[in-house]
Amino acid sequence: MFDKLFNRFRKDLGIDLGTANTLVYVKNRGIVINEPSVVAINTRTEQILAVGNQAKEMVGKTPPHIITPRPLIGGIIADFEVTEKMLRYFIDKINEDERNFFSRPRVVIGIPLEITEVERKAVSDAAINAGAKEVYVVQEPMAAAIGARMPVREPVGNLIVEIGGGTSEIALISLSGVVNWQSIKIAGDELNRNIVQYARDEFNLLLGERQAEDIKIKIGSAIELSETMQYPMRGRDLLSGLPKEIMINDAQVREAIIKSLRTIVDHVKATLETSPPELVADIHERGILLSGGGALLRGLDKLIARATEIPVRIADDPLTSVVRGNGLLLDDMELLQEVAILSPHHNN
C-alpha cells in the first residue's frame, strides 16, 4: 500500500544526458526540459551561476574567473561534480512545486555504447546524488530505437544510426539486444570544429564554435543542393586582429565537413559488413533509421543511402528519440528489465 502511495506522488523521469543537450521527460507530462549541457561556474566562490540555456549564452564571453564547462565529453561524464549539480538543477526545476520526500523519482537514463563499468557507475551515482531514488541505464541507440517505435523485441534486424553532439553510434538491434555496433567520436561537435579549422585555413579567420554551429545548421549539407545557400561568417582576422565578415556558401561548408561525414558512412558500412546475413537481409528490406541532432543535416540520409544502397529514413523529431524512448520505458517495466544494462541502482 505504501508503494502505491509513493508512486502516486513520484515523478518518474527519462533523461537523455547528452554531450550537447540534456533532455528530461516526465511521466504523464512529456518532455519538460531541453537545454544545453553547459554550466557556468564562478571559480572564486565555486558557485554555479547558470545552467543550460543561460550558461550557453555566456560561452566565450566570460571574464577569467567564470568558466563554462560542458561536463560531458563524447557522452561520457568528464566532470562528475558538475554533472551531478547540473542534474540536481534540472530535477529540482521539475520538483519546484513539491519539494518533499515523495518526489524522489525513478530515473531511466541513456548511456553511450562504448562506456566502461566505471563510467556507467558514474552516470548512476550522479543521478542518485542528484536526488533519484532508483536508476536504470539504457544504451542510447536502444532508447532511440524504442523512441522511434522500432520493433526492437521482434527477431528482425533494426539498424539505427544515432548521431549526437559527441558520438555517432551505429547499432544493429534484434530481440531486445544490440547484436553488432560501432561507436566513433565524430559527430555534431566535430563538424563544428571542422568548420572552425576551414575558416582558419582558407580565410585566416578565427571563428567561435557557436558561430560554426550556426553556419552548420543554416547552410550545412552532406550532398550538393539544388540551390546555392550563403551565410555570413563572422570572426577575428588572424592577420589584422580585427573583426571580419566573409560570406560562405554551402559548397565550402560541405568541403569542410565531408571527410568527417565519410568516416561516419564508412562505419555504417563496416557495421553491415560484420553483421549476421539474416539480419542484413532484414535491413535491406526495412531500411536504416537516422536519429540524433546530426540526422537533421541536409542530405545526410541520401549520402548514407547512396553509399549502402539501402533506403534511409529520418526519425520523427530525431533530437528527442532517446529521451522519448526512455520515457516509454517508464511505462513498460518488462521491456525496461530486458534492455537495462545494470539492475537498478537504489538510493535507500
Note whether 158 and 138 are same-domain residues: no
Q: What is the model's pLDDT at position 103?
A: 65
Shared domain check, 139 and 55: yes
User: Which cell numbers in the block locate residue 205?
Assistant: 579567420
pLDDT over 50 at 310, yes or no: yes
Looking at the structure, tell me whether residues 287 and 305 fall in a common domain: yes
- Residue 95's pLDDT is 77
**Percentage of the chain exceeding pLDDT 70:** 93
Select from 257, 274, 308 the last residue of a domain.
Answer: 257
Among 257, 272, 287, give the residue marking a domain's end: 257
CATH number of the domain that residue 17 is part of: 3.30.420.40
CB 300 within 8 A of CB 261: yes
Crossing angle of helices 188-203 and 250-273, in 10° steps, is 140
Residues 169, 103 within the same domain: no
Q: How far apart are CA 126 and CA 89, in angstroms?
A: 12
3-class DSSP assignment, residue 315:
coil
For 72-96, write each residue's pLDDT tens digit: 988 788 888 889 889 988 888 887 7
Task: Show the domain range for 299.
Answer: 152-186+258-316
At residue 2, the pLDDT reads 43
Count of structural domains, the chain: 3
Contact 12, 127 (CB under 8 A): no
Task: Give the pLDDT score at 21.
Answer: 92
CA atoms within 13 A on the CB side of 253: 30
Note whether 135 and 240 are same-domain residues: no
Range list of H helices, the chain: 2-9, 53-58, 80-94, 117-129, 140-147, 188-203, 209-219, 250-273, 277-286, 300-308, 321-330, 333-339
* pLDDT for the residue 8: 52
What is the residue-averaged pLDDT of the chain? 91
Instruction: Answer yes or no: is pLDDT of 34 > 80.
Output: yes
Summarised one tens digit per residue, pLDDT across range 240-297 is: 999 999 999 999 999 999 999 999 999 999 999 999 999 999 999 999 999 999 999 9
Asked whether residue 191 carries a pLDDT value surpassing 80, the answer given is yes
- Residue 181 and residue 204 in one domain: no
Same domain, 225 and 102: no
pLDDT average, residue stretch 105-132: 90
Q: pLDDT category, 97, cuts 50, 70, 90?
A: low
Judge whether residue 6 has pLDDT over 50: no
pLDDT at site 104: 81
* The pLDDT of residue 65 is above 90: yes
Closest by CA to 146, choosing from 327, 8, 279, 334, is 327
Structural domain ending residue among the three candidates 239, 257, 275: 257
Residues 172 and 297 reside in one and the same domain: yes
**pLDDT tops 60 at residue 9:** no
| 107 and 192 assigned to the same domain | no
**Location of C-alpha cell 562528475:** 80
* pLDDT digits 0-9 by tens, 128-149: 998 889 999 999 999 999 999 9
28 with 124, same domain: the answer is yes
Q: How far apart are CA 262 and CA 256, in angstroms?
A: 12
pLDDT in tens, 198-247: 999 999 999 998 899 999 999 999 999 999 999 999 999 999 999 999 99
Q: Please tell me whether residues 170 and 303 are part of one structural domain.
A: yes
305 and 340 part of one domain: no
How do beta strands 168-174 and 230-237 pair? Answer: unpaired
Q: What is the CATH number of the domain that holds 214?
A: 3.90.640.10
